Structure 1
Amino acid sequence: MARAKTKAAWLAALAVLGTACGGGEGGGRAPEPYVWKLPAGFPTPRVPADNPMSEAKVRLGRRLFYDTRLSLNGTQSCGSCHEQARAFTDARVTAVGSTGQVHRRNAQGLANVAFSTSLTWANPMLTTLELQALTPLFGREPVELGFADRQDELLERLRSDADLAAGFAEAFPDDEAPVSVASLGRALASFQRSLVSGGAPVDRYRYGGQPDALSRSARRGMELFLSERLECDHCHSGFNFQDATAHEATPEPILPFHNTGLYNEDGQGAYPLADPGLIELTGRVEDMGRFRAPSLRNVAVTAPYMHDGSLATLSEVLDHYAAGGRARAGNAGQSSPLQSGFVRGFTLTAEEKQDVLAFLEALTDTEFLTDPRHADPALAPPVP
C-alpha cells in the first residue's frame, strides 16, 4: 500500500509539472544560439526541440541556479546542495532542505548531467532536466525549496525584479509571459546542460596526446578498472563513466538501475523500508534495492557515496565491491539474490587498491571545479 501511494503521488506530481512545462517556443526572433565547447572525445548532448540552447538561457539559468529567492524562506538556492567545488554535490551524507528537513538520499553531482538518461537515484519518470528542475521547487516530500502550491508567489517574486524579468524576456522573446514556470524550468535546464566536464588527467591522456598526464599507478588502475576481474566498467562505461548515458547519436536512451548488494536485511535482498529503491515506484520485486549508477567523473570530490551516503570514502567503496557487496560481508558470506551479477567480489593487493584509487583520482577535472562560467555570478569574476 505504501508503494502504491508513493507511485500515485509521483504520477500526480508529474501530471502537474508536465502541464506547467507544456508548450514550445514561438517562431519569432531567436536568441543567440549556444556554442558548445565540447572536450575532445565528447559527443553533442541531446537537447529537447522545445528548449533549444541559447546563450541568454544559460546566463539566466546560471543566475537562477544561485538565487536564494527560489526557496520560499529565502535561505537556499539550487547551488546550496550543488556546490561547484564539489562537482555540484554538497559533502553531506544526505541532503538538507530549506526548512531543515533531512532528506533520505545523497545529493548527486551535476557534471555532464546533460548526458544522463535518468536524473534522480531511482525515478524512471523524470527523464528531462526541464521537468526535474521543478521537482525541488514544488515537491512536497521531501521539502527542498518549499514552493508547493505557491507557484504564483514564486513568479511574482521573480517578476518584481526588473533586471531579472528583463533576463527572462531576453531568453524567451516569443513568450507572451516570459516569467513562467515553464521558462523557469527551461532556463535552469539550459544552465545545467552547460556543465560539461572533460578536462581530467584521464582525458588529457586518452584524447589530448599527453601520455604523461596519468601516473604509472593510475594507468595500472585504469587497466584494473576496465578488466573483467573488477567489472567496474559495466555500470560506469564510456566517456562519461556511466551506463545511463545518451547523446545526439544514440538510439532510444536506456534507463538502467542496479542493486549493488548494499543491503540484505532479510536474506532475501530487502533494503531498509526508509528507501527500498526503484521498487517504490514500480512495485516489482526485482526492483528492490535498484538505483542508478552515477557518473564517476570528479568522483574523488563527491564523497560520501551511494544513494544514502553510507560509504564515506572511495577506499570504502572499493572494499564494498571487493567483498561482493556490503550485505554479503554482514551476512556470513550470503549475497543478496537481487544484487547485480557484476557484483561478485574480487581480491586486490594493497598496491593494486592504491592503483585503482589513483585512477579514480585522475577523473578529477580541476578546471571544471573552478570555471567562472559555472560559478555564482554574484561572487565570480566576469566571464571573458
Structure 2
Amino acid sequence: MSRRTLLAQALGPIRLRHVCGAAVVTIAAALAACGGGGGTTARDPGDPSGGGVDLPALPAGFPSPRIPADAPVTAARAELGRHLFFDIRLSGNGRQACASCHQPDKALTDGRMTAIGSTGQAHPRNTQSLLNVVFSPTLTWANPSLLLLEKQMEVPLFSEDPVEMGINDGNKAEVLARLRGDSRYPALFRAAFPDSAGEPDWSRIITAISAYQRTLYSGDSRYDRFLKGALTLTASEQRGLTLFFEEKAECFHCHGSFNFNDQIVHAGSRLIETPFNNTGLYNIGGTGAFPVGNRGVFELTEQPRDMGKFRAPSLRNVALTAPYMHDGTIATLEEVLDFYAAGGRNITEGPHAGDGRRNPNKSGLIGLIQLSTQDKADLIAFLRALTDLSLASNPALADPWAGTANSFRTTLPSTAASATP
C-alpha cells in the first residue's frame, strides 16, 4: 500500500488538495513525491580512512539537503565536529559545551525556559532544537539574514551579549591550547583537514561543528513509520492527524512541511520562503509591543510591522522540547493548544499586561479556533506521534567523552547529569 493511500485513508474527508496543493501543505514533501532519501546509509568516498566510515542515513522520504560547495560534509569532519560539540573545554571557562544547551535526551534542547550561558547569564530566548537544521534556511528565532551554519556558529562561540560559550580575544589561545593538549584531536583534525597537520584553529573548528550539525537527522517517529506502512496510528492519533491538516485546527499553515515548520530549503529548492510571524503572545499596554530585548525581527529592522515576529519552529519531537514559544513562557503542549485556540494570549496583570489576541501586528493566520476537549486530546496524541524514539540510540548523538571529565554531563545539574539519552 502506498504512502499516499495510507495518508488518504487517515485523512478521511480531507481532500488531497491539502497534500498536493503547493500553497497549502507539503506533508512529508508531498509524501516525498519530489523524490528524496530512501533511508539508506551514505558512504563517504572522500574519507581519509578509505571510504569505510558511514555518514548518518537520510530518513526515508526526506529530500537531499543543500550543502555549500565550499563546505562538504565528510564523515571525518562530522566525527571531529561531534567531539567538539560535546567537549566542555570548547568554552571560555572550560565548563560548557554546545551539548550543554543541546542535550540529546531533550531532542537537542535543554528543558529550560531560556538558555543559560557559560557565565550564568540568562538568555532572552528558548533553546531551539538542532535536529534537521540542515533543512532550515534561517537559523535563529528572529534573524532573517543569518543563513549559513558557519556564520551562525560564530554567535554562540563569541557572542558578548548575551554570553553563550564565552570565548573572546582574551581566552581564545587558552581554549585552543586545551584542545591541542588532548591526544584524540591531532588525528581527528588530520583526518578531517589533511592540510592542517593536526592543529586546531577557529575556522576548522567552526567548519567541523557545522558539518556535524548537517548530519543531525530526525525522521523515525511513529508518524514516519505510518507513512512507510510499518504501523497503524491509533484512532486518536489518526483523528489528530486529520485535524492538524484541515482548516478546523489550521496547524498546517505554519507547520505543514516534512519537517513540520514553514521554512524549508533542500537540494531541489527553487523558491525559498522565510516567513516570520507575530502570534499574539504579547500586546503590552495595547500598543502591540513585546518585551524589550525580545521583540523579534523588529530588533534588526526597527520596522513597526516586524514587532513580535518570530520563526515557527519544527514540531518534530515537540513532546521532548518543553517549555515552548520563543521565550519559553508556555509550559505544556496542552497550554500551547489553548493559546492558539484562543487566537493569542491575554495577560491581565503585571508589566506585560495586554491582550495579545488584539495585537495589531498579529498574523492573519492566528484566529479563534473551536476545539473540543476531544479535539485537543487527539491533536496532542498526534503531536506525540512525532517523537523519534530512535534518538536515544542514534550514534550521531552519542557523547564521545562520556565517562570522562570532558563530557558536558559533568557540569549539568545532578538531575540532568543522571539522565540517559
Q: Secondary structure at the match of 1:235?
A: helix
Corresponding residue to 1:77 among 97, 101, 105: 97
Distance in 1, Cα, partners of 2:62 & 2:164: 33
**1:355 is aligned with what amino acid?**
D
Could you give the per-residue CA deviations for residues 325-383 of structure 1, whole angstroms, max 9, x where no partner exists?
11488756851110111101201111111000000000000102331331101229xxx
Give the aligned partner of residue 226 of structure 1. 245
Do the aligned residues in 2 keep the contact of 1:172 with 1:178 (CA within 8 Å)? no
Q: How does 1:151-162 map to 2 (within 5 A)?
A: 151-162=172-183
Corresponding residue to 1:365 among 388, 411, 414: 388
Unaligned runs of 5+ in 2: 1-45, 404-421
Q: How does 1:1-384 map to 2 (within 5 A)?
A: 31=48, 32=51, 35=55, 37-149=57-169, 150-175=171-196, 178-206=199-227, 208-212=228-232, 214-327=233-346, 331=354, 335-379=358-402
**1:126 is aligned with what amino acid?**
L
**1:60 is aligned with what amino acid?**
L
Distance in 1, Cα, partners of 2:347 & 2:159: 36
**1:124 is aligned with what amino acid?**
P
User: Offset at 1:147?
Assistant: 0.7
Distance in 2, Cα, partners of 1:260 & 1:376: 37
Do the aligned residues in 1 keep the contact of 2:118 with 2:165 (CA within 8 Å)? yes
Decide whether aligned partners of structure 1 residues 348 and 252 sit closer, same or farther in structure 2, where only a CA change above 3 A counts: closer
Do the aligned residues in 1 keep the contact of 2:56 with 2:396 (CA within 8 Å)? no
Unaligned runs of 5+ in 1: 1-28
**1:302 is aligned with what amino acid?**
T
Could you give the per-residue CA deviations for residues 194-243 of structure 1, whole angstroms, max 9, x where no partner exists?
1100000000111x11351x111011101111111222111112110011
> Structure 1 residues 166-175 or 257-266, which shifts more?
166-175
Decide whether aligned partners of structure 1 residues 281 and 253 sit closer, same or farther in structure 2, where only a CA change above 3 A counts: same
- The TM-score with structure 2 as length reference comes to 0.79
Could you give the per-residue CA deviations for residues 233-257 of structure 1, whole angstroms, max 9, x where no partner exists?
1111211001111110112533221
RMSD of aligned alpha carbons: 2.0
Do the aligned residues in 2 keep the contact of 1:87 with 1:369 (CA within 8 Å)? no
User: Offset at 1:72?
Assistant: 1.3
Distance in 2, Cα, partners of 1:110 & 1:189: 11
Do the aligned residues in 1 keep the contact of 2:343 with 2:357 (CA within 8 Å)? no
Distance in 2, Cα, partners of 1:128 & 1:195: 16
Could you give the per-residue CA deviations for residues 101-134 of structure 1, whole angstroms, max 9, x where no partner exists?
1111111111111111111111122211112122
Q: Secondary structure at the match of 1:97?
A: coil
Distance in 2, Cα, partners of 1:301 & 1:131: 27
Decide whether aligned partners of structure 1 residues 333 and 142 sit closer, same or farther in structure 2, where only a CA change above 3 A counts: closer
Distance in 2, Cα, partners of 1:263 & 1:243: 22
Distance in 2, Cα, partners of 1:323 & 1:370: 39
User: Offset at 1:175?
Assistant: 4.2
Do the aligned residues in 1 keep the contact of 2:280 with 2:356 (CA within 8 Å)? no
Q: Secondary structure at the match of 1:353?
A: helix
Determine which structure has the larger helix proportion and give its number: 1
Do the aligned residues in 1 keep the contact of 2:281 with 2:356 (CA within 8 Å)? no
User: Offset at 1:30?
Assistant: 6.1
**1:189 is aligned with what amino acid?**
S
**1:193 is aligned with what amino acid?**
R
Distance in 2, Cα, partners of 1:328 & 1:77: 36
**1:100 is aligned with what amino acid?**
G
Decide whether aligned partners of structure 1 residues 96 and 328 sit closer, same or farther in structure 2, where only a CA change above 3 A counts: closer
Q: Secondary structure at the match of 1:70?
A: coil
**2:238 is aligned with what amino acid?**
R
